[in-house]
Structure 1
Amino acid sequence: MDLTHLDEKGQARMVDVSEKDVTKREAIAQAIVTMLPNTLTMITEGKHKKGDVLATARIAGIQAAKKTWELIPMCHPLMIAGAKVDIQAISATELRIEVRCKVADRTGIEMEALTAASIAALTIYDMCKAVDKGMTIGEIKLLKKTGGKSGDWNAE
């Protein structure tokens, strides 16, 4: 399979999507933030002195989705139709961030969902690092994508 961001000489390029059809596209991505149990309790009970960690992370994720084209060199600017960031405790030490992004455009929205999940996780880390420097961010991955020429895809 050829890499679409390289031309015939192997030089980086932005893919020309001008001839592609506009289709509805959706992507779902996740990130997992692992922390001490006391840190998670502080977050979920809203007792952090810096404010609502989860609300701030959701806003940061949405903002990141909108700015992905400015952060990732070969990404196209997209008119995002929707971005939802859901954050849930999945154990006594883990938060799962799930991002769903939608667009009607000529190119996919996977990078926007992945960027949103990553930035939401980094925001949680930033707000809580004073109480838990050992937090880790992991399992940043695409869970599902629909639409476009390549069709639908689901993680196993």
Structure 2
Amino acid sequence: MSDEFTHVDDDGDAQMVDVGEKADSERRAVARGEIRLSESTVDAITTDDVAKGDVLATARIGAIQAVKHTWETIPMCHQIPITNVDVEFDVNEGAVELTVAVETVGKTGCEMEALEGVTTGLNVVWDMVKASEKDDDGEYPVTAIENVRVVEKSVERA
């Protein structure tokens, strides 16, 4: 691991990394995370009985949109050509797990795009179900977005 910070110039100012000299590569990144929910909310998601509509379809669209717009929200990210986005949900007892796989051909990786897809997709789930998660005291005792992480990153020279 390098001791040099690549997003900081010699004067300590933030900078975007120059990838102009790098060769194009086929790149893939996969990120995963989950949102813990009450069992009744998970049941409502699986039976498509949520007042705001189809939670997973909406979250899928949100995740894809986030991937495509990562460069607009993460200050030092490059705008990259996304060649594929795969969004998968695993709904189980008390949680919805979201996995986002992103592929590109270019000079820089796509792990930030995968992470943005996961976090936005999970935020969309939360937005769609938050009314049913509130207890009698107005608290959200179960709900938590957790374990957001990159689980795979690969680079293959084009």
- Do they fold alike, i.e. is TM over 0.5? yes
**2:155 aligned partner:** 147
Partners of 1:107 and 1:148 within 8 A in 2: no
Partner Cα separation in structure 1 for residue 151 and residue 5 of structure 2? 22
Question: Is it true that 1:44 corresponds to 2:46 in the alignment?
Answer: yes
Give 3-state SS (helix, strand or coil) of 1:127's partner: helix
Q: Name which one, 1 or 2, has greater alpha-carbon Rg.
A: 2
Q: How does 1:8-19 map to 2 (within 5 A)?
A: 8-19=10-21
Q: Within 5 Å, give how 1:54-93 maps onto structure 2.
A: 54-89=56-91, 91-93=92-94
CA-to-aligned-CA distance 1:95-133 (integer Å, 9 cap, x gap): 110000000000000000000000000000001111114
CA contact (8 A) 1:35 1:93 kept: yes
Q: Distance in 2 between matches of 1:108 and 1:20?
A: 12
Following superposition, the deviation at residue 148 of structure 1 comes to: 6.3
Instruction: Give the alignment's TM-score, normalised by structure 1.
Output: 0.92
Specify the code of the residue in structure 1 equivalent to 2:112: M
Q: 1:33 aligns with which of 32, 35, 39?
A: 35
Q: What's the Cα RMSD here?
A: 1.1
Instruction: Give, in angstroms, the shift of residue 26 of structure 1.
Output: 0.1
- Give 4+ residue runs of structure 1 displaced > 2 Å after superposition: none
Q: Deviations over 1:55-76 (max 9, x none)?
A: 0001100000000000000000
Q: TM-score, normalised on structure 2?
A: 0.91
Query: How many residues are aligned here?
Result: 148
- Cα distance in 1 for residues equivalent to 2:151 and 2:23: 24
Which runs of 5 or more residues in structure 1 are unaligned? 150-156
User: Unmatched 5+ residue regions in structure 2?
Assistant: 135-139
Question: 1:10 deviation in Å?
Answer: 1.5
